[in-house]
Amino acid sequence: MSETAKIDLILTEITSLRRELDLFKPDLTLEKEVIHFLQKDKRTVKRYIDEGILVEGVHYYNDKDKRVFVPDEIISFKKGGCRPPLTNPKAQAVLKHFGL
């Protein structure tokens, strides 16, 4: 088998695998799917939005009366640990005390 034929076979297999993967990929533009993907409850995601942890224009945008999430930004948010910054003064004091 020639090198070109091997590369074509590999590309065909990758394309096939991507199609199969898409069958299981959630639609991360939808709030329900984002909640499930982040493994948070609806109140937590709403709090993230209200407190500016999920930022309008970055993580989501409003289209008429519907909130639409940006999949790549939601994935990046999850990779970052889904943790909001600590705004509690006591928590900040403890972190400062330990040099964190």
Q: Residue 88 has what pLDDT?
A: 61
Q: Which domain holds residue 86?
A: 27-97
Q: How many domains are contained in the chain?
A: 1
- Contact between 77 and 59 under an 8 Å Cβ cutoff? The reply is yes
Cα–Cα distance measured from residue 60 to residue 74, given in angstroms and rounded to the nearest whole number: 9
pLDDT tens per residue, range 17-37: 999 988 888 999 999 999 999
Q: Residue 25 has what pLDDT?
A: 85
Residue 74, in any domain of the structure: yes
Q: Indicate whether 97 pLDDT > 80.
A: no
Q: Residue 1 has what pLDDT?
A: 87
Beta strands in the chain (DSSP E): 60-63, 66-69
Bridge partners of 61, per DSSP, are: 68
Cα–Cα distance measured from residue 32 to residue 47, given in angstroms and rounded to the nearest whole number: 15
pLDDT tens per residue, range 59-93: 999 998 899 999 999 999 999 887 665 566 666 66
Residue 48, in any domain of the structure: yes
Residue 47, in any domain of the structure: yes
